[in-house]
Structure 1
Amino acid sequence: MSAIKRAPQTRHASLLRAGSDAEISASDIELIRLLQADGRISFVDLSEKLGMAEKTARKRVAELRALELIEITTVASPRAIGYNSVALVGIRITGGATRLGIAERLFALKAVDYAVTTFGSYDVLAELVCCDNRELGEILDGSIRGMDGVKEIEVFPYLSLHYQQPAWDRTQIKDDAQHTLASAPLDKIDRDIIHHLSEDGRVAFLEISRHIGISESQIRKRYARLVEQGVVQVLAMTNPRSIGYHTIAWVCLNVASGVSITAVGDLVSALPSVAYIAICAGKFDVLAEVMCRDADDLFDLVDHRIRSLPGVSAVQTIICEDFLYRRIKPAGG
């Protein structure tokens, strides 16, 4: 990932840098991988698995967070936390505008949780998370279509978030075909717990209890239930390049007439490197974000695996460059 300007902290943004300004050791990479598996793993367990003193593990986690190499936060189904309208928007820019400049301006919009500069059919991709279609339409019409430097846009509203695996190593070896976060009903206390964990995934349950006004044991039980139900994960979000996935792309699929889009989504989700799948309306039927080790790995995935899947009628690949990411808080939080 090339160096880009940091987004203002008031927007709760993270660049998730790949270590261009800091050295990442082999032990750092292993530490990040453990935190991707479980963002709330105890420092005692971390130190044992890494073979280092607990004090050293604690210090290095703090350093990696301060360097913006990781952000320990929540990942939840948007619908579970109040966002019923999500879309990926492809943007083509005018001459004189820069991809990065447009990405940063899009990212200034509260509803944009992700913006990436790209090579391919679009210059920039941005994901919008909105409470409903009316809000989505207002942002598209009032903020994006008329933005200086935006030539044209294409909108891909999500019909369903079919698959999501934010722990990058787990995208390589699929032990199950599905990892879609559940959308179980949440009450205000559940949403408050997720809100605090989205700010800091390692915050003590006792600290949350002081803010919410219920006991630490109740917080702990509710959190365990949310994890068991698949509603939320707490993990270290990191730039995939930090741990060896240097080629990130969106693969856009069309499904042949008469073939189930869901069935194709299931086939794609079972492939290595696939981290995120949305079934959508618009020009494409399936959007898949993939994390590959290099360009050869991406070529093998697209040419030898995805194109040969039954029911896939057309494939377009969009390569990602610089991206901005914002953790998603529960709606109204």
Structure 2
Amino acid sequence: MRGSDIMGSMKTYLDTLSRADRALSEEDLALAHALQINGRASFREIADALGVSDQTAARRWSRLRSAGKLRVLGLTDPQRLGDSPWVVRVRCTPDAAASIGEAMARRTDTTWVNLSSGGTEISCSVRTRGPGMEESPLLQKLPRTPQVVDVSAHCLLHVFFGQDLSTINKSGPLTAAQVAQLTPSGAPEQATADTPWVTLDAGDRQLLDLLARDGRAAPGELAAATGLSPSTVRRRIAELRAAGVLYFDVEYHPDVLQRNFRAALWLEVDPSRLAEAGEALAAHPEVSFAAAVTGTANLYASIDVATAQLFYRYLTESVAALPGLRHTATVPIHRTLKGPGPYLPTRA
């Protein structure tokens, strides 16, 4: 089953539940927090940190996974592979946004496909296999689609918060000592413009494609699917993590964390204050993703809060205090059609 199919089945199941049923217990939140820190931690490692038995940790994970509440994904950093990530906004006629959005969600080069602005705008992340938009068939095709009114693409330049970090890293119940106990050793350094790209072979691409579907797949399962030995699978996963290519993220329904108002935030910041503003924005507990992007609005963020009233307070207090802020635009997110998607192979 493809990653987008699993996402769809998870969403369908969760939509039948009440919000109270979707929410995680304190014990489940602790497990989700542990997996966000180290998605491939063994149940023994998780149990030791949480103070429970191995069997309890395993049963809790099995229940949450089978219920579709949580999923661990092994994803890749496009900038470590020479690919380019884009944040794309597509304005459509009101009758077309849902169908166009569904078609975009089925593509392997998109993630986080959202319907916004009352159902007339689609926002998504697009990954091109090269440095420019000309490498993306989607970005070439969209402007020629009759029901598309406007397309704007913003190249993602620097991530201040995101990828293997999420709101649960800020709000989760684990103590600093538990976080330190679960944090993998040998974390990669932040990539710079001089960091060389990592070249993948066919075996790497197959392994990463499998991990994108199930980040906790056992080495034996991965070995059987790839034809590699279990020891080679373990070694290559460790090498790809150390190189900063591979990271692990927990996917969950927005209601799981009881943050029911979501919005995209587009900020215009003085270029001389962009790094300072981005770091400050990344520290806000309401922010699940923050990055510098191209365009007049040069700072983009995803915001998750419980209510519209709290979003107003956040805008007038925390956002208003950001250094170098010139202009603010907000776009409410009404529906998510696709979360983190399957791995997109780079060109051979």
How many residues end up aligned between the 2 structures?
318
| Cα offset, 1:54, TM superposition | 4.7
Asked whether the 8 Å contact 1:181–1:232 carries over to 2, the reply is no
Provide the residue aligned with 2:144 in structure 1. 146
Provide the residue aligned with 2:93 in structure 1. 94
Asked whether the 8 Å contact 1:120–1:317 carries over to 2, the reply is no
| Cα offset, 1:314, TM superposition | 0.6
Asked whether the 8 Å contact 1:164–1:275 carries over to 2, the reply is yes
| Cα offset, 1:66, TM superposition | 3.4
| Cα offset, 1:313, TM superposition | 0.6
Confirm or deny that 1:302 pairs with 2:295.
no
Aligned counterparts of 1:301 and 1:229: Cα–Cα separation in 2: 36
Aligned counterparts of 1:195 and 1:270: Cα–Cα separation in 2: 32
Q: What does 1:62-77 correspond to in 2, within 5 Å? A: 62-77=62-77
> Residues 194-221 of structure 1, C-alpha deviation per residue, up to 9 Å, x if partnerless?
3332121111123334444554334334
Q: Find the partner of 1:278 among 291, 299, 317.
A: 291
Aligned counterparts of 2:275 and 2:236: Cα–Cα separation in 1: 32
Looking at secondary structure, tell me which structure has more helix per residue.
2
Report the identity percentage. Answer: 20
Q: Find the partner of 2:247 among 233, 250, 265.
A: 233
Q: Find the partner of 2:210 among 172, 196, 200.
A: 196
Provide the residue aligned with 1:129 in structure 2. 127
Q: Normalising by the residue count of structure 1, what TM-score does the alignment of the two structures yield?
A: 0.79
Instruction: Give the AA of the match of 2:298.
Output: D
Provide the residue aligned with 1:3 in structure 2. none
| Cα offset, 1:261, TM superposition | 2.6
> Residues 110-161 of structure 1, C-alpha deviation per residue, up to 9 Å, x if partnerless?
322221011379622122111022545532232x223353222222222334
Confirm or deny that 1:291 pairs with 2:300.
no
Asked whether the 8 Å contact 1:161–1:279 carries over to 2, the reply is yes
Q: Find the partner of 1:259 among 235, 258, 272.
A: 272
Provide the residue aligned with 1:116 in structure 2. 114
Q: What does 1:42-61 correspond to in 2, within 5 Å? A: 42-46=42-46, 54-55=54-55, 57-61=57-61
Q: Normalising by the residue count of structure 2, what TM-score does the alignment of the two structures yield?
A: 0.76
Instruction: Give the AA of the match of 1:109.
Output: R
Change (3 A) 1:194 1:51: same
Root mean square deviation of aligned Cα: 3.4
Q: Gapped runs of 5+ residues in structure 2?
A: 177-187
Asked whether the 8 Å contact 2:167–2:285 carries over to 1, the reply is no
Aligned counterparts of 2:68 and 2:134: Cα–Cα separation in 1: 31
Change (3 A) 1:263 1:164: same
Change (3 A) 1:150 1:180: farther
Q: What does 1:149-160 correspond to in 2, within 5 Å? A: 149-160=147-158
SS at match of 1:252: strand
Change (3 A) 1:10 1:171: closer
